[in-house]
Amino acid sequence: MAHVREAPTEDTVIVSHNPATGERIGEVNVFSGDDVERAVADARNAQKAWSALSFKERRRHLLRFRQVIVDRTDEICLRISQENGKTLQEALMCEVLPTVDLLTYFAKRAEKLLSPKKISLHLFKQRASYIHYAPRGVVGIISPWNFPFAIPMGEAIMALLAGNAVVLKPSEVTPLIALFAKELYLESGMPPDLFQVVTGRGQTGQALIESGIDMMFFTGSVRTGKRVAQECGARLIPCVTELGGKAPAIVCKDADLERTANALIWGGFANSGQVCASVERVYVPESIHDRLLEKVVQKTQSLRQGKPDSHNTDVGAICFERQLSVAEDLIGDAVEHGALIRTGGRRKEGDGMFFQPTVLEGVTQDMRIAHEEIFGPVLPFVKVKNIQEAIRHANDSHLGLIAYVFTQDRVKGRGLAEQIESGTVMVNDVLATYGMPETPWQGVKESGVGFVHTDDGLRNMCQSRHVHYDRLMSLKKEPWWYPYSESRFNLLKKFMNLLFLLYED
Ligand code: NAD
């Protein structure tokens, strides 16, 4: 019988299993509200000394952390694979490499990006204004299980470089990886209390929001995200939410079908489809539909699914039992309403949690599978009359994280991309921009509010504070100060009229 990750019954302990084998691989404590408060207080204490260091010193510390990550890459990949079920190559390519690259990118630039920024004043030329960036204090991170290393560590590294402390509440499905990240962090000689990991379930996350943190980065489902945003709103804590996705892929008649087919299977099946950016619906015009579908089916059937910790496996395990049922339910509903399973379609028998890479033909926009997040290795094909219909369907969603367009015409590709309601649109490629730290990762609609990464993302780890002064340090009274009078009123009015005259088009 297939292994099902047990729902832990103990309130105080979470047991973690290898999803590919069912083997128990460890357990962690559930942090209570008091534990979380203590962790936040310790982090806040450590942050004082950390924020007093120069950028160069902070950079030196974090580059040592980078070195430990690089030195222990093989072990990190193996541990990610064992707890999360992704393949070794995915652990390297989608977790370790982007984290190391992000650290390098921001370590090089943090000092410049966070140095005071001058604002030129258009009227008051003798005055000066500037923004300076002060660390927020303690940044809270609540993260999901699908990228248990790259998502929280990318955010943590940016927060630390900016001078903050970090308290991370990892997913209860993959807590061991977060604790291993803390081990690597300690090994690098970073200040121990500055980065805290508080393991637990939703209640521990809730306690983190209530603990007096200064900012929250939440990544997870729309349902929890709305709740977290509400809780943060009640405390006026800035909150970035990175939520679900339902990425459409729009294939134009002039697309290179070979590249498109390769991109679709990687975009649909990498990480066993458990990516917020996974291709979740494919819109194809009638004239190329069958040719593309056949290619995709054939390529899907050649994928090797199995032991994630083997270098010769393409598709690994499903990390979280719930996703098996979600995929079965949505496929079942689609088939009931006329869709055809062209390959795959069910969980694999035997040990571990695996779902066969699946291609569905004949999906229509009114089916649940065209709207609800699958988060599993399923590619639903929807035939469309033309590209405008594809755009309408793509936008017919409550989510808007990322979308894909396939065409060989650069101008058309950009034109179509701009018509899609989505935080990011990639042309002729899939998934990859999360790993590019200078580009924004952001959702529109219910895919979230705010963004991570980018130079502005680093600045957002700080309070931006405004300082304004008179360059000549004039001690004269300003004309708009007391006492008011009619003559002063008329003088100000003349001044205003003159201004508008000067600035007339
Ligand atoms: P989830 O919402 O169930 O859990 C996410 C985190 O929230 C976990 O750590 C969980 O313990 C915590 N949590 C649960 N209830 C809470 C509460 N009341 N208060 C505070 N914290 C609470 O999501 P999941 O199943 O772990 O992740 C899958 C979802 O995440 C998918 O919808 C996927 O699309 C989304 N996701 C989005 C992105 C993105 O960048 N947009 C990236 C990865 C995953």
Residue type at position 243: L
Query: Cα–Cα distance between 223 and 220 in angstroms, integer?
Result: 8
| Annotation marks residue 242 as catalytic | yes
Sheet strands (E) in 22-147: 24-29, 117-119, 127-135, 138-142
Burial class (CB in 10 A: 0-12, 13-18, 19+), 143: buried
Q: Is the CB of 172 under 6 A from ligand 1?
A: yes
Cα–ligand 1 centroid distance for 239 (angstroms): 14
Q: Is the CB of 400 under 6 A from ligand 1?
A: no
Q: Is the CB of 273 under 6 A from ligand 1?
A: no
Q: Is the CB of 205 under 6 A from ligand 1?
A: yes
Output the pLDDT for position 501: 83
Query: Cα–Cα distance between 433 and 405 in angstroms, integer?
Result: 14
| Pocket-testing residue among 224, 325, 372, ligand 1, by greatest number of atoms within 8 A of Cβ | 224
Output the pLDDT for position 9: 54
For the four alpha carbons of 78, 79, 80 and 83, in that order, the dihedral sign comes to positive
Ramachandran angles phi, psi of 131, nearest 5°: -105, 135
Output the pLDDT for position 228: 98
Tell me which of 94, 252, 276, 462 is the catalytic residue. Answer: 276
Q: Is the CB of 244 under 6 A from ligand 1?
A: yes
* DSSP H/E element including 446: none
Which residue is listed with tokens 């795959």?
A: 344
Output the pLDDT for position 5: 54
Which residue, among 467, 461, 463, has the nearest Cα to 134 in the 3D structure? 463
Output the pLDDT for position 490: 96
Output the pLDDT for position 8: 45
Output the pLDDT for position 479: 87
Query: Cα–Cα distance between 65 and 71 in angstroms, integer?
Result: 10
Query: Cα–Cα distance between 388 and 311 in angstroms, integer?
Result: 42
Query: Cα–Cα distance between 63 and 373 in angstroms, integer?
Result: 38
* DSSP H/E element including 180: helix 175-187
Query: Cα–Cα distance between 300 and 210 in angstroms, integer?
Result: 46
Tokens of 119: 């604002």
> Does residue 198 contact residue 192 with C-beta atoms inside 8 Å?
no
Alpha helices per DSSP H over 72-135: 73-84, 88-91, 97-113
Q: Is the CB of 451 under 6 A from ligand 1?
A: no
Q: Is the CB of 245 under 6 A from ligand 1?
A: yes
Query: Cα–Cα distance between 424 and 443 in angstroms, integer?
Result: 8
> Does residue 387 contact residue 345 with C-beta atoms inside 8 Å?
no
For residue 211, how many C-alpha atoms fall within 13 Å in the half-sphere facing its CB?
Answer: 34
> Does residue 73 contact residue 50 with C-beta atoms inside 8 Å?
no
Tokens of 2: 């297939």
Tell me which of 83, 95, 242, 373 is the catalytic residue. Answer: 242
Which letter does DSSP use for residue 29 in this model?
Answer: E
| Pocket-testing residue among 31, 102, 171, ligand 1, by greatest number of atoms within 8 A of Cβ | 171
Alpha helices per DSSP H over 114-149: none
Of all protein residues, whose CA lies closest to atom 16 belonging to ligand 1? 202
Query: Cα–Cα distance between 164 and 157 in angstroms, integer?
Result: 10
Tokens of 288: 């190329």
200 Ramachandran zone, left/alpha/beta (phi>0; psi -120 to 50): left
> Does residue 196 contact residue 42 with C-beta atoms inside 8 Å?
yes
> Does residue 380 contact residue 267 with C-beta atoms inside 8 Å?
no
Residues 6+ apart with CB under 8 A from 339: 331, 360, 361, 362, 363, 364, 367, 369, 380
pLDDT in tens, the chain (505 residues): 344 455 445 689 999 999 999 999 999 999 999 999 999 999 999 999 999 999 999 999 999 999 999 999 999 999 999 999 999 999 999 999 999 999 999 999 999 999 999 999 998 999 999 999 999 999 999 999 999 999 999 999 999 999 999 999 999 999 999 999 999 999 999 999 999 999 999 999 999 999 999 999 999 999 999 999 999 999 999 999 999 999 999 999 999 999 999 999 999 999 999 999 999 999 999 999 999 999 999 999 999 999 999 999 999 999 999 999 999 999 999 999 999 999 999 999 988 999 999 999 999 999 999 999 999 999 999 999 999 999 999 999 999 999 999 999 999 999 999 999 999 999 999 999 999 999 999 999 999 999 999 999 999 999 999 999 999 999 999 989 999 999 999 999 999 998 888 767 6
Output the pLDDT for position 11: 84
Query: Cα–Cα distance between 366 and 25 in angstroms, integer?
Result: 42
> Does residue 118 contact residue 127 with C-beta atoms inside 8 Å?
no
| Annotation marks residue 276 as catalytic | yes
Output the pLDDT for position 404: 98
Q: Is the CB of 276 under 6 A from ligand 1?
A: yes
Which letter does DSSP use for residue 93 in this model?
Answer: I
Query: Cα–Cα distance between 195 and 298 in angstroms, integer?
Result: 47
| Pocket-testing residue among 90, 203, 221, 241, ligand 1, by greatest number of atoms within 8 A of Cβ | 221
Q: Is 159 helix (H, G, I), strand (E, B) or coil?
A: helix
Cα–ligand 1 centroid distance for 56 (angstroms): 35
Tokens of 291: 């040719």
* DSSP H/E element including 432: none
